[in-house]
Amino acid sequence: MQLTAVAILSAAGSWAQRPPNAEAASLNFSLGGKIAMDDGSAIPPRIAVLLSCSSAGGRALVSYTNATGQFSFPSQNSSVQDCVVQASAKGYTSEPIGAMKAISSGSGNVGILKLHRLSTTQGVTTSQTSLTAPKDATKAFEQGMALVKKGKPEAAVKDFEKATTIYPKFAEAWYQLGRSQLAAAANDAAIVSLKKAVEADPLLVGPQVQLGILAGQRKDWAESAKLLDVALELDPVDYPTAWFPDAVANLNLQKYDQAEKAAREALRLDPEHKNPKVEYVLGLALAEKADLKGAAAAMKSYLAHAPKAPDADHVREMIAQFEATK
DSSP secondary structure letters along 156-174: GHHHHHHHHHH-TT-HHHH
The answer to the question of residue 4 being in a domain is no
Residue type, 323: E
Position 79 scores a pLDDT of 57
Whichever domain contains 127, its CATH number is: 1.25.40.10
In contact, 283 and 298? CB cutoff 8 Å = yes
C-alpha span between 13 and 210 (Å, rounded): 15
The answer to the question of residue 247 being in a domain is no
Question: Where among 238, 269, 287 does a domain terminate?
Answer: 238
Position 236 scores a pLDDT of 82
C-alpha span between 21 and 279 (Å, rounded): 21
Position 194 scores a pLDDT of 97
- Count up the domains in the chain and report the number: 3
pLDDT tens, 25-69?
Answer: 334 557 889 999 888 888 888 888 888 765 554 456 778 888 888
On the question of pLDDT at 23 being above 60, the answer is: no
The answer to the question of residue 201 being in a domain is yes
Q: How far is CA 92 from CA 116, 120, 184, in A?
A: 5, 10, 37
In contact, 315 and 300? CB cutoff 8 Å = no
Split at pLDDT 50, 70, 90, the class of 76 is low
Question: Where among 99, 117, 135 does a domain terminate?
Answer: 117
Q: Are residues 91 and 129 in the same domain?
A: no
State the residue range of the domain holding 294. Answer: 252-326
In contact, 193 and 227? CB cutoff 8 Å = no
Q: Are residues 150 and 174 in the same domain?
A: yes
Q: Residues 168, 138, 42, CA angle at the centre, nearest 5°? A: 105
pLDDT tens, 122-159?
Answer: 666 667 888 889 999 999 999 999 999 899 999 999 99
C-alpha span between 192 and 205 (Å, rounded): 16
Average pLDDT over residues 5-17: 34
What is the rounded (10 degree) CA torsion for 202, 203, 207, 213? Answer: 100
Q: How far is CA 10 from CA 193, 245, 277, 278, in A?
A: 22, 8, 9, 11
The answer to the question of residue 243 being in a domain is no
The answer to the question of residue 196 being in a domain is yes
